[in-house]
Amino acid sequence: MPPVRKPKPQKIEKQSTPKKTINKAKEVVSGQLKKKVAKSKPQKEKRPERGVVVVKHLPHGFFEHQLRQYFRQFGRVLRVRLARSLRTGNSKGYAFVEFEYPEVAKVAADTMDNYLMFQKVVKASYIPPEKQTFNFFRTSVKKVVNKAGKEIYVSDVTKATQRSVKKQNDWDESACQKRTVNNLNKIKKLQEKYKDLGIDFSDLMVEPVKKTKKTTEEETTEASTSQAATKAGGKKQKQAAKKEPKLEDLLGTTINEDSDDEDYVDASDDDSELEIEEEDEDSEPTSDDSDEEVELPLPPKKKNKVSLSDKLKRKPGTGGVQKKKLAPVVKNTKSAATQKLQLAAAKSLAKPLPKGKAKKSKK
């Protein structure tokens, strides 16, 4: 039999199974991770647009305070930064000024451009908000007060070193105790780190003596007793000062000094002599010479005046102003009473002779 051709099987197209679409846009898998992402990347709030002006070719002496005061005439100034050297702290000659509104900043830049100030032509340019990609007001220069009390500008590194040195030089008891506790904690951490190597730091550690309540109470009582003692001593001194001085203390040795004087005469004798003199003058006529009273001039008082030239004189080898030493003032031991007595004695000696005696002497 001849071969028979078999019919070819018909191809039946199978229906394709629908493929599951994977959402690749999902970034967060769980709610916890979503919270963590939100905390790590906080959304930055849009700041209002500000206007910044760059000022160049600034003269010396035109610093932060002067910049703020000068640019305040255009509008409200928010921030000012003068470029300074990290090594010396001196001005570099340019600054950034931030205004509240960009329009005000633009006006300020236009007016201050090519402005002559202290023999220098100032250059100013406006930076719009879209071009403010860099923080122009970030700086590592800090203001510090030196030993002389003057404000200077230094780098943040030098300020940190100065702060640490000041902290280490603080020898207050509480500060020392705090430092020792911090150092002990560092040593304990090292001991835990090198525990496997068999290194022991316990021999090196000396724990500080902690104050108890009893010691603090004792110190407070001692301080209170010392304060009470000082107050009592001050009261005693005030009471002694308020006491009325005795008559003997006030007089001193004045009685002895008057008695030692050679010209000392009792006041009663002086009065009697003066009365006799007045009667003689009334009864007997006197000559022209007797009319004239003998007056002894009082010694002039010396005034120790120190002139400015004497004060400013300098000795060789000395730098300060040398004050001239005043000579000791010699006090007049003779009082007014003794001088009166001397005058009375001189008058009694210079009395004119009576008429009968005068004729006998002529013969």
Structure confidence at residue 274 (pLDDT): 47
Share of the chain above pLDDT 90, in %: 24
Q: Tell me: pLDDT of 278 over 60.
A: no
How far, in Å, CA of 99 to CA of 76, rounded? 6
How far, in Å, CA of 142 to CA of 6, rounded? 100
Q: Which stretch, 119-123, 131-135, 319-323, has highest mean pLDDT?
A: 119-123
| Closest among 204, 196, 348, 185 to 269, alpha carbons compared | 348
SS3 sequence of the chain: CCCCCCCCCCCCCCCCCCCCCCCCCCCCCCHHHHHHHHHHCCCCCCCCCCEEEEEECCCCCCCHHHHHHHHCCCCCEEEEEEEECCCCCCEEEEEEEEECCHHHHHHHHHHHCCEEECCEEEEEEEECHHHCCCCCCCCCEEEEECCCCCEEEEEHHHHHHHHHHHHHCCCCHHHHHHHHHHHHHHHHHHHHHCCCCCCCCCCCCCCCCCCCHHHHHHHHHHHHHHHHHHHHHHHHHHHHHHCCCCHHHHHCCHHHHHHHCCCCCCHHHHHHHHHHHHHHHHHCCCCHHHHCCCCCCCCCCCCCCCCHHHHHCCCCCCCCCCCCCCCCCCCCCCCHHHHHHHHHHHHHHCCCCCHHHHHHHHC
Q: Tell me: pLDDT of 303 over 70.
A: no
The residues facing 52 across adjacent strands are: 98, 127
Average pLDDT value for residue range 209-221 = 61
**pLDDT tens per residue across span 103-127:** 999 999 999 999 999 999 999 999 9
Going by pLDDT thresholds of 50, 70 and 90, the confidence category of residue 136 is very high
Q: What is the mean pLDDT of the chain?
A: 75
112, 53 contact by CB (below 8 A): yes
Average pLDDT value for residue range 37-54 = 78
The per-residue b/e assignment along 218-232, b for 16 or more CB within 10 angstroms, e otherwise, is eeeeeeeeeeeeeee
Q: Tell me: pLDDT of 142 over 80.
A: yes
- Encoded amino acid at 205, one letter: M
**pLDDT tens per residue across span 225-249:** 767 777 766 666 667 666 666 665 6
**pLDDT tens per residue across span 4-27:** 777 777 777 666 676 666 665 555
Structure confidence at residue 15 (pLDDT): 67
Please give the backbone phi and psi of residue 190, each rounded to the nearest 5 degrees, phi first: -65, -40
**pLDDT tens per residue across span 161-196:** 988 888 888 888 888 888 888 888 888 898 888 888
Structure confidence at residue 106 (pLDDT): 95
**pLDDT tens per residue across span 64-83:** 999 999 999 999 999 999 99
**Lowest mean pLDDT, pick from 107-111, 137-141, 304-308:** 304-308
Count of all residues that appear for the chain in the document: 363
**Any residues with CB less than 8 A from the CB of 108 and at least 6 apart, and which?**
53, 71, 74, 75, 97, 99, 124
**pLDDT tens per residue across span 251-264:** 555 445 544 444 54
Structure confidence at residue 109 (pLDDT): 96
Tokens in use for 331? Answer: 């006090």
| Closest among 121, 76, 123 to 102, alpha carbons compared | 76
Structure confidence at residue 75 (pLDDT): 94
Choice between 363 and 329, residue whose per-residue pLDDT is larger? 329
Share of the chain above pLDDT 70, in %: 54
**Lowest mean pLDDT, pick from 108-117, 208-217, 339-348:** 208-217
Structure confidence at residue 355 (pLDDT): 65
